[in-house]
Amino acid sequence: MAKTLEPIPGTSDLWEPEVSQWVRLENAAREVFSLYGYGEIRTPVFERTEVFVGSIGEETEVVQKEMYTFEDRGGRSLTLRPEGTAGVLRAIAYSGLQQGEEKRVFYTGPMFRGERPAAGRRRQFHQIGVEAVGRSNPYMDAECIAMAMRYLDELGLDNVRLLLNSRGVPEERIQASEGMRAYFSKVSDALCEDCQNRLQRNVWRILDCKQEGCQEIIENAPAVLSLMGKESNEFFDEVVSQLDTMGVKYELAPRLVRGLDYYEHTVFELVSDSEQLGAQNALAGGGRYQVSLPGSSKKVPGVGFALGMERLLMALGVTEQPKASMADIQVYMASLGNAKQAAFSLAEKVRSWGIHVFAENENKSMKAQMRAANKFGATAALILGDDESANNTVICKHMETGEQVELPQADLQGHLQQILGAC
Ligand code: HAM
């Protein structure tokens, strides 16, 4: 197969029946999220680069190494969205958000990150995400987490653990950073080169390092909340207490910081123990944030999460289908002589009854057309020749039994419904 026909590594083509599974994930999201008042939003797949840099954070892996950024013909720097939150907040701010007002939206769609492709790590991947924007309140966080769990439950996914922590508030983070820096400075020689740089630039990013050599050091680092003050701890206690009241199970993950810089207060991840996922076991990530938008000095508060659709499907055991496939065909419309035009009209009529029809568009012998009907897996073939067309009749052949009858076209709907209903 020509290499040029292959999709770019880290991207893929999607075919039925896998596409139906994607639609199932989206429909379940619509159903569950609307119970909590979330409406759907669709934002552009590319934005001005500053929309992402300002909100996600200049020091993050995503901004430093993974964004697909390009200059358009007008000389503007644009970026394919690496995640959904920044664009959604831009759209909400653009539509106008009153002080103290709350807006709840969900989205589905492709995101783009220039990562090294691996199982569960793609360059074009798809997220289902939610954002509750405009207020800062621990009840919102607990409710948002409960909604994520309800969604996974609705899909029938168990073996999922909820990891929970807090990033604290920025006012308390300055002092906390000192504490964290003091710990890592003592062991800096054992850190990887990237982490040695992070020590000065953004010490919290060290907690997110996946290098094996750094792991043990990170495991013994101080718990984030132990370095934070009263405001961060009180907010977190309220979230936890509300989760307890709602019966949502969680595991405290005292060093979880997440890879994006807009978070403050609650952060969480949903990890799966399913074998299919291997190292990329985070099905979803989220938390509370304050997002900076270009041209505004005010930050916008909110809470949300995003689920990776590819990873959800892997956890559900849905595998990629590399073969082109069509929708199921129930009826194959064959024609002979000059009856093709009439056959196409009849096919349209049959479709108006809600029946899936393939009308043969090539001139083929009857034998070749019946072979095609079999190949499509059609339950019935309709045959229209010049005589049938003139008499307003049609021949209907049951493909499995081989039985065929000629009947008035006026009786066809009832006849087909009988045959198709019985299979
Ligand atoms: P994130 O943790 O970067 O958070 O991504 C959320 C989920 O997207 C991950 O848990 C994973 O399932 C999936 N994902 C991320 N990168 C890839 C990839 N390269 N290939 C396949 N799947 C991937 C966010 O994006 C935040 N915007 C979530 C959020 C919403 N926080 C608040 N609101």
| d(CA 181, ligand 1 centre) in Å | 27
Q: What is the pLDDT of residue 255?
A: 96
Which residues, 6 or more positions from 168, have their beta carbon under 8 angstroms from its beta carbon? 176, 224, 225, 227, 228, 229, 232, 264, 265
pLDDT given for residue 422 in this prediction = 64
The answer, yes or no, to whether residue 6 has pLDDT greater than 80, is yes
What percentage of residues in the chain have a pLDDT greater than 90? 85
pLDDT at residue 327, rounded to an integer: 83
Tokens of 115: 């990562």
Buried b (16+ CB within 10 A) or exposed e, 335-348: bbeebbebbbebbe
Identify the three-state secondary structure at position 107. Answer: strand
Task: Specify the pLDDT at position 400.
Answer: 95
Nearest atom of ligand 1 to the alpha carbon of 113:
19
pLDDT category at 322 given cuts 50, 70, 90 is low
Q: How far is the CA of 264 from the centre of ligand 1 (A)?
A: 17
How many whole angstroms from 394 Cα to the centroid of ligand 1?
55
Q: For residue 324, is pLDDT > 80?
A: no
C-beta atoms surrounding 105 within 10 Å: 24
Q: Indicate which atom in ligand 1 lies nearest the CA of residue 308.
A: 12
Q: Which residues sit opposite 268 in a β-bridge?
A: 164, 286
> Which position has the higher pLDDT, 390 or 276?
390
DSSP H helices, 353-405, are 366-376, 386-391
pLDDT exceeds 80 at position 354: yes
Q: 60-109: per-residue pLDDT in tens?
A: 899 999 999 999 999 999 999 999 999 999 999 999 988 889 999 999 99
Question: Which phi and psi angles does 199 have, rounded to 5°?
Answer: -55, -40
Query: What atom in ligand 1 is closest to the CA of residue 82?
Result: 25
Interval between CA 308 and ligand 1 midpoint (Å): 6
> What are the residues whose beta carbons fall under 8 Å from the beta carbon of 255, sequence distance 6 or more?
165, 207, 218, 219, 221, 223, 224
The C-alpha atoms of residue 133 and residue 137 are separated, in whole angstroms, by 11
Instruction: With a cut of 80, say whether residue 197 has pLDDT above it.
Output: yes
Q: Answer for the pair 394, 406: CB distance below 8 angstroms, yes or no.
A: yes
Rounded to the nearest angstrom, the gap between the alpha carbon of residue 31 and the centroid of all alpha carbons in its chain is 15
Residue 267 contacts residue 255 (beta carbons within 8 Å)? no
The pLDDT value given to residue 423: 56
Question: Tell me, what's the pLDDT at 323?
Answer: 75
| Residue 228: per-residue pLDDT | 97
pTM of the model: 0.91
Ligand 1 atom closest to 285 (CA): 2
Determine the residue of 125, 128, 140 to mutate for testing ligand 1's pocket, defined as the one with the most ligand atoms within 8 A of the Cβ atom: 125
Nearest CA to ligand 1 atom 12: 308
For residue range 121-161, what is the model confidence (pLDDT) as tens digits? 999 999 999 999 999 999 999 999 999 999 999 999 988 99
Q: Report the pocket of ligand 1 as residue ranges, CB < 6 Å.
A: 83-85, 113, 115, 120-122, 125, 127, 129, 131, 259-260, 282-287, 289, 304-306, 308, 310-311
Question: For the sheet containing 404-408, what is the strand order?
Answer: 357-359, 331-335, 380-384, 393-398, 404-408
Give the pLDDT mean for 250-254: 98
Which atom of ligand 1 has the smallest separation from the CA of 289?
32
Are the C-beta atoms of 413 and 353 separated by less than 8 Å? Answer: yes
Which atom of ligand 1 is found nearest the CA of 269? 10
**Which residue stretches of 187-278 are H helix?**
193-201, 212-219, 224-227, 230-246
Give residue 99's pLDDT.
87
- 410: Cβ contacts below 8 Å, ≥ 6 apart: 392
pLDDT in tens, 331-351: 999 999 999 999 999 999 999
CA 75 / ligand 1 centre spacing (Å): 29
Output the average pLDDT for the chain: 94
Contact 283, 272 (CB under 8 A): yes
Q: With cut-offs at 50, 70 and 90, classify the pLDDT of residue 184.
A: very high
Contact criterion met (CB below 8 Å) for 66 and 124: no
Give every CB contact of residue 398 below 8 A, 6+ residues apart in sequence: 379, 380, 404, 419
**H/E element, 143:** helix 138-155
